[in-house]
Amino acid sequence: MDENDNVLDEAQKDAEQAENSRALYEVKMKYLGRTGRITALLKKMKELAQEDRPAFGKKVNDLRMLLEARFAVLEEIIRQKELEHKLESERIDVTMPGKRKREGVLHPVTRVKNELIDVFAGMGFEIYEGPEIESEYYNFTALNTPADHPARDMQDTFYVTDEFLLRTQTSAAQIRVMEKKKPPIKILSPGRVFRSDDDATHSPMFHQMEGLVVDKGITLCDLQGMLDEFARSVFSDSSKTRLRPSYFPFTEPSVEVDVSCASCGGKGCSLCKGTGWIEVLGAGMVNRHVLENCGVDPDEYTGFAFGMGIERIAMLKYGINNIKLLTENDVRFLEQFKD
């Protein structure tokens, strides 16, 4: 019988140590649980004489009820304390000044890329993105630039293996499209290109936008008409284009395309170095060897292609004088491109 009093004392001490509801629950189980002390006491009943059992049973039952009542009180106290603590820690001072959220803006290269896609998608172009690691075949050979061709020197190339390289031009995508799709073809291929080149207007990684149109009866006039539309949308309503003869192995004839200087309207200024014109891209009629390489009959189909540097367009459009500004990610620079 004495043991009952001990159990009560011990339970009281244990419970006082419990600092949170979880600890208190464990103490409660130690005494009132299925394998707890009360159950253990009841099991001892068997050892008693028959006549002592009812009294013993009552005593243990009273003890259980007492313990349950005490635990209930303690539980309520701890629950209150925990609630107060929670409310205190989650308290919000509505008079504090708010944290201003800084909104990001699209990078100028992304903006120009999206704008170009919009302009050309409006003319019915579809997007195709080729791989950045290319084989020599797609980047050069199929584009009418065999291994010993001097034009390979025009683009300092990063080789990955003897056969694979980081593409130097999105023109590689032209081949991939023509191999898979029969004309009519009208695709736009944006993407990153890589060249071992580094100064104020050249960066080892930059972006190009390639265009390719192949169908029956396509001429250089179609190319210029489309480029005029591009210049008016991207630069100014009064922009004009001018074609100058040039050379690329994959086009014949090849042209360099100038846009009238949007800064001086063609009168001549420091931006256009007094000429009134700014060179923006390379283009031409797809060389018949390139069509043949892709299984397109050059006597049935003709096409034009063009390729432009997206950074270059962004620099011209926004008056950026150093290409490095586009990769440094200085927030003070980028923030200026808010809508």
284 binds ligand DAH (CB under 6 A): yes
Site map (CB under 6 A) of ligand DAH, residues 158-177, x = contact: -----------x-x------
> H or E element: which one contains 176?
helix 172-180
Minimum CB separation of residue 257 from ligand DAH in Å reads: 9
Q: Is 282 in the site for ligand DAH (CB under 6 A)?
A: yes
Q: Is 190 in the site for ligand DAH (CB under 6 A)?
A: no
Nearer to ligand DAH, 75 or 256 (CB): 256
- Segment near ligand DAH (CB under 6 A); pick from 84-92, 122-130, 269-277, 302-310: 302-310
CB of 251 to ligand DAH, least distance (A): 4
Q: Which of 138, 284, 295 is nearest to 212 (CA)?
A: 284
Interaction between residue 248 and ligand DAH (CB under 6 A)? yes
Residue nearest to ligand DAH (CB): 307
* Residues 202-231 close enough to bind ligand DAH by CB under 6 A: 210
Of the CA atoms within 13 Å of residue 310, those in its CB half-sphere come to 27
Instruction: Give yes or no for residue 262 binding ligand DAH (CB under 6 A).
Output: no
Q: Which is nearer to ligand DAH, 67 or 227 (CB)?
A: 227
Nearest-approach distance from CB 288 to ligand DAH, in angstroms: 14
CA-nearest of 246, 184, 172 to 215 is: 184
Amino acid making up residue 254 = S
Considering the complex, what minimum distance in angstroms separates the CB of residue 222 from ligand DAH?
13
- Angle, helices 53-89 vs 21-32, to 10°: value is 170
Residue closer to ligand DAH (CB basis): 108 or 307: 307
Q: In the block, which residue shows the tokens 């205190």?
A: 88
State the residue for tokens 């200024």. Answer: 269
Q: How many CB atoms lie within 10 A of CB 144?
A: 20
Establish if 138 lies at the interface with ligand DAH (CB under 6 A). Answer: no
Output 56 or 301, the one with its CB closest to ligand DAH. 301
Q: Any idea which residue has 């890329």 for tokens?
A: 113
DSSP 48-104: S-GGGHHHHHHHHHHHHHHHHHHHHHHHHHHHHHHHHHHHHHT---TTSPPPPPPPP
Q: Compute the distance between CA of residue 131 and CA of residue 142 in angstroms, rounded to an integer.
A: 16
Residues that bind ligand DAH (CB under 6 A): 169, 171, 210, 248, 251, 282-284, 305-307
